[in-house]
Each structure stands twice: as C-alpha cells, then as structure tokens.
Structure 1
Amino acid sequence: MNPHNSPRARNSGRMRVTALTTFLALALSGCAAAGAEKPLPERPSAGPSASPGATASAAADGPSPAATMVCGDETRTNIVKALSLPSEPPTTDSWADKLYTCTYTLPSGHLMLSVKETSDPETARKFFDGLQQQAPGAAPIEGLANLGFPAFQTPTSAVFTKDNFVLTVDAAALPSTLGPHAVSRDAFAYQVATAVLACWSE
C-alpha cells in the first residue's frame, strides 16, 4: 500500500486541513490586531515592507521585518492561544549567515522558529530542497494544506518556502503532545508555520 494513501496518512491530512481552517482564523485576526496596535519590531537595516517578496539584499546587515515576524507579538499571541498558556513565553533571537532564529521558552520545552533569507526564490528553493533531503522522515505537505507553497513535514517540524524565504518551525525539543487538547508536535509545528505564512500573505 502506498504510505501516502494509508488511512493514517489520510487522517493526518484531514487533521491538518481542519487545524488550518481554525488556526488561520485565529492567526489572521492576530495579524490584523497586531498591525493595528503596534508596528513590527524595527531593525537597523531592514527594509520598509514586511512582505517576503522583498529581496533579502534589502536587509544585508540584519533580518527583514518579514523574518522578525516569527518573534513578533502576533506569533507570540498565536502560540499563547493555541496552547492556552497563562502568559506570554519569553524569547531569544539571533541573526547569523542570513538566518534569523527565534526560540520560545515554553513551560514544556523550547520551540524554535527560523527564517533563511536568500537572494532570490531559486536559491531559497535549493536551500529548501537540501533541508528536505537531509530531514529524517520528511514528507511533502500536499493539497490545500500547503497553501500553494512548497512544504514538507517531519514528525517534529514543518518547513515552507515562499519567495526568497524558507521558514522552519522545529518542535523537536517539545513533548510528543502539547496543550489542553493534546496536539501532536508535528500538528503544532504545522499550525505555527501556517499562521506565519498567513501573516506574510496579508
């Protein structure tokens, strides 16, 4: 039997689409609220737009506003709501080799979001393909669940590429299930990634 057509795979796909529908509603409202209340964090050399369509060269000395969204108020709020956390988790971030990384310290462990900025979409796709080839258990995210972008998922992470950006949500340091609804790590990583994509696409 083709593993992608197995009952487990079909159930996983249905769960992702269901999670996508509910979480994107939350995410889009969060993006709108964050945009109305507070501008994106300012970075000394970041470009004026938060759209990932802007080339990474505009942020040669620092991450772009689109990249820093993964550590912004809207993403933090979405994580709090998804896991029913009592307060916002602390974060640490870094920028090196065109890779912006934001690590959330959750009650149950660390969640790492990263954005690789490249010079053009073709380079981003090569970087994405390399990650997919190296990731154990990587499987493409297909159909409605990928939002129209190249994407893959592992048992602990989700990776998407859009324009000249590659977004990775790594939940490997978290327990196998999370929150009051016992969401699996891979489903949570997918939810967080698609929420960021939704904000990028606004």
Structure 2
Amino acid sequence: MVCSKEIQEKIVQILALASAPGNGATWADKLFTCTYALPAGSLGLSVKEAADPDAAHAYLQELQRSTAGAAPIEGLANLGFPAFQTPASAVFVKDNFVLTVDAAALPEPLGPHQVTRAAFAYQVATTVLACWSE
C-alpha cells in the first residue's frame, strides 16, 4: 500500500508535482520500505509487521522513546490509533502494523501551500491509513 498509485497521487496533489514520483521498495526483517524520489529530496514510508497488536504497540513505544522530538498525537488527530509525530515524521499503529512516514530528507516548507514536513508526513500517513480501512 505505501508504494501504491493512491499514495503517489496524494503526493502529487499535496506538492503540486508535474508527474508522479518514482519509488523503490525493499522488504527485510518484516519491514517493508518505499522511498519516493521527489524533486527536493526523498520521502520514506515504511511498515513494520509485528507478530500481533501488542507487539506493534511495544515497537511503537520503543521507537517513540528512542526518537528525538517525538510527541504523542492525541485527540481526534490520532484517528483512534496510537501515534506520535516529530518535526519531520508521523508514526501510527494499526492492528499489528506500524506505519512510519519520514520527511526528514526534505526541505521546509514544502509545495505551493508551504506545508511543514510534519504536516506533509501526517497527510501522507492518514492517506495510507484510509486505504488500509477500505
């Protein structure tokens, strides 16, 4: 899903790109990674598959503890999922999967609407989550 046409289209829409960005995917140690080559830098999306929802929550908690600038996403913004955000990323847990959108390699602000890297990462993450629920 993180390398899907829907995600490419959302990136094109948010950044007003002339064409869909290329991407490359890898799979190792139950971690699927998709890296988008954007004109201004790269955007990384990854999904860690855990053994069960409890293991996914534990993975999220450890990631949050070890990530500088991590703060919980709370209230309606977390869409009912455990989540945290940094100034350049968004991380959500759904079922036994942990989704990370990392925009740290991009400049700030982004696109014609001058969004922050954090806002961009959140928009892309919520698009992936919406596709997961279909």
Q: How high is the TM-score relative to the length of structure 1?
A: 0.66
Residue 198 of structure 1: aligned partner? 130
- Pairing partner for 1:87 from 11, 16, 19: 19
- Pairing partner for 2:116 from 174, 184, 187: 184
Gaps (5+ residues) in structure 2?
A: none
Q: CA deviation at 1:176?
A: 1.4
Q: CA deviation at 1:80?
A: 0.6
Describe the SS at the equivalent of 1:74. Answer: helix
Which amino acid in 2 is paired with 1:175? Answer: P
Describe the SS at the equivalent of 1:149. Answer: coil
Distance in 2 between the 1:126 and 1:142 partners? 18
- Pairing partner for 1:158 from 90, 100, 113: 90
Residue 55 of structure 1: aligned partner? none
Residue 51 of structure 2: aligned partner? 119
Alignment of 1:15-26 (within 5 A): none
Identity of aligned residues (%): 68
Describe the SS at the equivalent of 1:130. Answer: helix
Q: CA RMSD in A?
A: 0.5
The question of 1:97 aligning with 2:29 is answered yes
Q: Greater share of helix residues, 1 or 2?
A: 1
Give the number of aligned pairs: 134
State the 4+ residue runs in structure 1 displaced beyond 2 angstroms.
none
Q: How high is the TM-score relative to the length of structure 2?
A: 0.99
Residue 147 of structure 1: aligned partner? 79
| Cα shift readout 1:130-172 (whole Å, capped 9, x = no counterpart) | 1100110111001110000000000010000010000000000
Describe the SS at the equivalent of 1:70. Answer: coil
Distance in 1 between the 2:84 and 2:101 partners? 11
The question of 1:76 aligning with 2:8 is answered yes
| Cα shift readout 1:161-198 (whole Å, capped 9, x = no counterpart) | 01000000000000011000100000000010011011
Distance in 2 between the 1:115 and 1:190 partners? 15
Describe the SS at the equivalent of 1:113. Answer: strand
Distance in 1 between the 2:123 and 2:79 partners? 12
Distance in 1 between the 2:56 and 2:73 partners? 17
Q: Greater share of strand residues, 1 or 2?
A: 2
